Structure formats: structure tokens, C-alpha cells
Amino acid sequence: MARYREYDAVKRIAVLGTGTIGASWCSYFLARGYDVVAWDPAEGWRERLTAFIDTAMPQLRDLGTAVAKEGALVTADTPEAAVAEADFVQENAPERAPIKQELYARIDGAVPEQTIVATSTSGLILSDLQGGLGFAPRLVVGHPFNPPHLIPLVEVVLGKATDPGAGAWAHGFYGHIGKHAIYVNKEVPGHLANRLQAALWREAVNAVAEGLASVEDVNAAVAQGPGLRWALMGPHMVFNLTGGKGGMRATLEQFGPPIESWWTDMQITPTLTDDLKAKLIAGIEDEMGDRSIDDLEHERDTRLIGLLKMLRATERA
């Protein structure tokens, strides 16, 4: 790790790709006091980025995430220019391996020697992206959860060519800037958190497909039930409390056998037929009513901020 920068020496961060995830990252880095140089190939991206930041920054100030001296935003015309003087790079190109590989080839000779490049990929295998790159030892997965400017989680995954020191640096840097970084110890499609939510959604889709419940009631079954506990503690800790004073041991003894039988009954993977897609779309449209996507995003973010404030206020000393 000696050849990588000290965390306090990081002043300028390049953000490549400024869609929903990239714009959210820009907002977070700016709020934490870092200068950001952003790049995106799409038409009108600068205006969309500015609009996103204008919405996100008041949220970050309200949450207490923003520091006294916020960073400055600069935009670049090419990815090479964006990374040329960057102390850290967060890449957010579309979730297509050829697109990311083409971008990496462009910046390969421009990334400074001490600079770590983190990809926000939500499920690609990093080792498949590293071939032929000079900065391959400094390429890591730094996968956030949407929206990154509010949700703390970042998954750090190393590829076969990644220097373990680079992975440790990235993990430590995310913690340094206020994120909750975790290591995913093996490369698997979807990393960890996405696999967990995909498993739950599989059962949620099955419930609709099998006529077990409506889309709205499936949503309520999570949001008004176990989802409230999951916001406070992870699933293993929740089940530890399920066992009462006996903890996890009692849970496994008392509830292990019936849960195993439920697992056996959960082997069906739904097929997203046109009919099933229509049911899911109609169900969610009924639940949305006259609310737009913008309305729902505002509702989500407002509730997230309130939840995060509460969690911070009740953190263990």
C-alpha cells in the first residue's frame, strides 16, 4: 500500500459516466469536499448532471454529510482528460462489458500511476474486464447501492489481476469518506447485495405469478414487515434475535427444520413471460396511482434521509 496515495492526499476525483449512479457519486464526492471532474458521452449530460446535483446537495446538507468546504465541479470533453490528474477514478459506464472495455482502453495510458480506478458495475465479473490493461492491478469493483449519495453500502471486489493492496486501499478510502465498505471475497455475478435482493424479488415475482398475493400486497409484506427490521439489522442478526435469549443456536434448533422445508418449496424460478410482465406492470401502476417516478424518487429519498438520521442518532457509541 506504500505506493498508493495517503487518503488525505486525494483532492481530485474523476467520475466517468454521469447517469443516475454517476451523478449521485458526483454529488457525494462534492459534498465531502472533493473536486470532481466529470465526463459522459451522451448529449445534454452536463445539464442533466447539474440538475441532479442541484437536487442532491440540499439533501446531503440536511443529512449532515456535506462538509464546510464543498468541492468544485469541472467537466471534461474526453475521458482521457478527466482522469489525467485524478487521484481516484469512479467509473459508471453502462452495464455492458464491451462498453467498459472500450472506455478502459481509452484511459489506460492516461491514468496516473498511483491512482485507483473503481468500477460501479452491479454484477459483471471484474477479471473479465482486466485483460490487456496497464492499470489492471489498480482496477477494483466499488459497487454502490442506488442512490449512492444517500445509501452507505459499497461492495469492494478484486479481480484476478487486482493488487490486494489496491483493494485494501479502495476499501479504506470508501470508509474514509463516510461509506460502509464491505469485501465480497469471491467473484460471482451480481456480487452480494444484488444477489440477496434478486433472491427476494424472485419470490416476490413468484407470489404474483402463482396468485399468492397482489403486487401491492407483496410490497406491503416487505415494507410493513421484515423490511423494517432489515433497515436496522441484517438477516443473520434478525434471526439471532428470533431465538430469544437462546440467540442463533435456539433459532436454528427451533426454526431451522421448517425454514429448510420452505427453502425446498422455493426452487421454482419464474419465467418473465409477456403475461407475467403485464401483471407486474399493471400491479405497480395500480399502486402508483397518480404518482410519477419523480414523485416516488422524492418519497424514497425523503424517507431514506429520515431513516438515516434516526440510525445515526441511535448508533452505538
Cell of 248: 442463533
Let me know whether 274 and 292 are in one domain: yes
Let me know whether 33 and 93 are in one domain: yes
Is position 63 within any domain? yes
The per-residue pLDDT for 186 is 97
Let me know whether 115 and 247 are in one domain: no
The tens digit of pLDDT for each residue in 257-311 reads 999 999 999 888 999 999 999 999 999 999 999 999 999 999 999 999 999 999 9
Write the CATH number for 221. Answer: 1.10.1040.10
Last-in-domain residue among 157, 183, 209: 183
DSSP state string for the chain: -TTSPPGGG--EEEEE--SHHHHHHHHHHHHTT-EEEEE--STTHHHHHHHHHHHHHHHHHHHT-S-SS---EEE-SSHHHHHTT-SEEEE---S-HHHHHHHHHHHTTTS-TT-EEEE--SS--GGGG-TT-TTGGGEEEEEE-SSTTT--EEEEEE-TT--HHHHHHHHHHHHHTT-EEEE--S--TTTTHHHHHHHHHHHHHHHHHTTSS-HHHHHHHHHTTHHHHHTTS-HHHHHHHHTGGGHHHHHHHHHHHHHHHHHHTT-PPPP--HHHHHHHHHHHHHHHTT--HHHHHHHHHHHHHHHHHHHHHT---
Total domain count for the chain?
2
pLDDT at 2 over 50: no
Boundaries of domain holding 66: 7-183
Let me know whether 178 and 223 are in one domain: no
pLDDT category at 25 given cuts 50, 70, 90 is very high
Let me know whether 90 and 235 are in one domain: no
Let me know whether 20 and 130 are in one domain: yes
Let me know whether 178 and 201 are in one domain: no
pTM to 2 decimals? 0.93
Is position 188 within any domain? no
Let me know whether 146 and 213 are in one domain: no
What torsion do the CA atoms of 297, 301, 228, 186 make, to the nearest 10 degrees?
Answer: 90
Average pLDDT rounded to a whole number, residues 248-259: 94
Residues 229, 232: Cα–Cα separation, whole Å: 5
- CB of 86 within 8 A of CB of 16? no
Let me know whether 168 and 257 are in one domain: no
Write the CATH number for 21. Answer: 3.40.50.720
Chain mean pLDDT for the chain: 96
Let me know whether 199 and 302 are in one domain: yes
The tens digit of pLDDT for each residue in 115-139 reads 999 999 999 999 999 999 999 999 9
| Cα distances (angstroms) measured from residue 248 to each of 3, 116, 196, 242 | 43, 40, 20, 8
pLDDT category at 3 given cuts 50, 70, 90 is confident
Let me know whether 111 and 15 are in one domain: yes
Is position 1 within any domain? no
CA 109 to chain centre: 28
Let me know whether 158 and 210 are in one domain: no
Whether the bond between 147 and the residue before it is cis, its omega within 30 degrees of 0, is: yes
The per-residue pLDDT for 315 is 83
The tens digit of pLDDT for each residue in 58-117 reads 999 999 999 999 999 999 999 999 999 999 999 999 999 999 999 999 999 999 999 999
Is position 214 within any domain? yes
